[in-house]
Structure formats: structure tokens, C-alpha cells
Amino acid sequence: MVRTRPYLGLAIIQTAKRSFERFDFAELYLKELLREPQSILYTELQNNQDLSRGHRYVISESNPVLHYLFNDVEVAEGLRAYKPVGDFIKFHLDELARDHEKDPYNQVMMGDYQEIGVWDSPVYAGARFFDIMVKEALFQGMQWHMWLYYMPRVVERICKNYRLCDPMADENDEFPIKYSFLLYEIFSYMRDWVRAIEDVPSNQPNVVLKSSSPELENGNIPKSSILALCESAYFVLMAEDIGERMKSTVVDMIFELYFELRSSGKYDGYASALLNTLIKGKDYRHDNDLYREAVALMFKKEEMEYHITHPAAHVMEVKTALHL
């Protein structure tokens, strides 16, 4: 069906609203769409890149699957659309872990991979699916994180699979291998889920921050995104096979987000939540002290640049928190 009559599957989901089997069918349907790189899901995702509304995608009716799921995001939530997509990304990465040298993501990027080749990747397509879904949940006021916490699980698997085994790979390059680019994109999505608060009314319930501590607030999408972002950073910093430049890129994205939130004058609570979560790390892990040392080292590498581009008081706040 996915290959020959793909929109029949969507029609079945739309019409079988009272059938219990509808949920099982929707899960299989979305999983198979993601499994097949030539499917309509990949085509719709590639055709749905219009961000002319700030951080929010324009979801056109010409992309029927995405429009059905996200025009009213409660449809996606009701069908648990995050589960088949998130589960398949994890399955895909677990399968590739069997042989690192044959893993296509451990190859260097050639030609137009960033613009065209990446659209054959279930990891990239699945992450973009989450990007659209989480943003719509945010903008439509949903008080639920839509299981954006799949992203740290994805990052954890990428870090386990990551190897510079391609003879052409240079860890000093911006993106040494395809996994490097995928990591950058996933971290960019999570960062944007936080930055999107500037396009949402401050009194909208799903952005009202209760605490700047690293505690769960499942009804707050930006806070949940901060937790996912920092957990993902932990996996990158503790990965033995990821080079220093890639680690620095990831941590710099987080510090820049902190300075952006802090300088806005409107999101001090979120800035504190981000810094507190990043520094706390994972207290229950034996290597948490090593993680904190790595965060401090990455900050020190860029400290002079931060002093040039950001208020000195804000830089000192970070130094104090890092005990530097």
C-alpha cells in the first residue's frame, strides 16, 4: 500500500475513527512510510520547508499526510504519531550498530548530501517530522511534550555508532561524516523548540515556566526541550569517538542559546533552567564529574569570543556556575 496506493492508507485512518484497530494501522502505516525512502512521507517533508511564519512551518494542504496530522495537532497526539516514527529511528540506528564500517552515516559527505542526499535518511526525515510536530504542539497550545524525549535516545544511538573509519574523514572538519551533520540538525531543532517561545504569547499555558530547576514540566514544551537538549549534550560530550570540534559545536550552540535567552530581558527563567540543567548533567552517572569538566573546558575554549559578543555580566554568570 505504501508503495502503490499510499494515500489509501491515509483515507482508511481518516474514515475508521471509531475502530480500535485504527491505532495499530496508523502505527504500521507511519512506520512503513518512514522505512521506504521513496514514500510520500519523504516527498511531503521535502516539500514542506516553508518557515515564513518565524519558527513555524507553513503546512500546506498539498501535503495531505502532514496536513492531516498537524493542522490540528491533537490528531497526531491521539494517534500517537510520535511512537512509530521515534521507534523506527531507534530501530534503524540499532541495526546499523552491527557493523560500524558499513554504516553509511560513518562516511564523509560528498557532493550535495546536505541539500539532496540527506532526504534518503530515515534519521533526518524522522527528526524533521518531530520538528514540525513539536512546533505545532507549541504554537497550538498543547500542554504535552509530544514525546520530544525521543531525541536524546536518538542522539545516544548516534554517539554509539559514530566512527571516523572513513579514510577521508577529518575530525577537524565542520562535519567530518554524515552523522556529524545529523547531530547538528537534531540539536538545531531542539534549540529552535526553545527559541520559538518568542513567537508565542507569554501567558500561553504551555510556556509558563514553573521552576528553573532541572525538573520535569511535561506541560511546558520549551522546558522539556531544554531537558532533552542538555541530556543529548551529555551523550555527545561523553562519546569517545566524537572529535573535539563536533563537541565544541554542540556545546557552543547551547551557550549561545543561553546568552540569547538571557539578553532578551524576557526569558531569564528559561536561561537559568538551561544553565542549571546543562551543569547538573546526570548525577546518577559515574562519569558525571568528567562531563562537567568537559562542559567547562568547552566554555573556556570560547570564553574570549563570548566576552567580545555578549555582556560581561552574563559571561561571568556562566563562569560562576561552572566554578571557573
pLDDT in tens, 87-105: 999 999 999 999 999 999 9
Residue with cell 562537567: 292
| 151, 157 Cβ separation under 8 angstroms | no
In angstroms, what CA-CA distances link 229 with 61, 119, 143, 226? 31, 23, 19, 5
Residue 42 pLDDT more than 80?
yes
Query: Distance between CA 212 and CA 46 in Å, rounded?
Result: 37
Percent share of the chain, pLDDT over 90: 91
Query: Distance between CA 283 and CA 214 in Å, rounded?
Result: 11
Average of per-residue pLDDT across 258-284: 93
| Per-residue pLDDT band at 281 (split at 50, 70, 90) | confident
Residue 19 pLDDT more than 80?
no
* Helix, strand, coil tally for the chain in percent (to 5): 65, 0, 35
Average of per-residue pLDDT across 207-232: 96
Average of per-residue pLDDT across 317-321: 96
| 82, 130 Cβ separation under 8 angstroms | yes
Average of per-residue pLDDT across 306-315: 96
| Per-residue pLDDT band at 134 (split at 50, 70, 90) | very high
Query: Distance between CA 267 and CA 263 in Å, rounded?
Result: 8
Strands (E) in the chain, as ranges, are none
Q: What is the mean pLDDT of the chain?
A: 95
The predicted structure's pLDDT at residue 185: 98
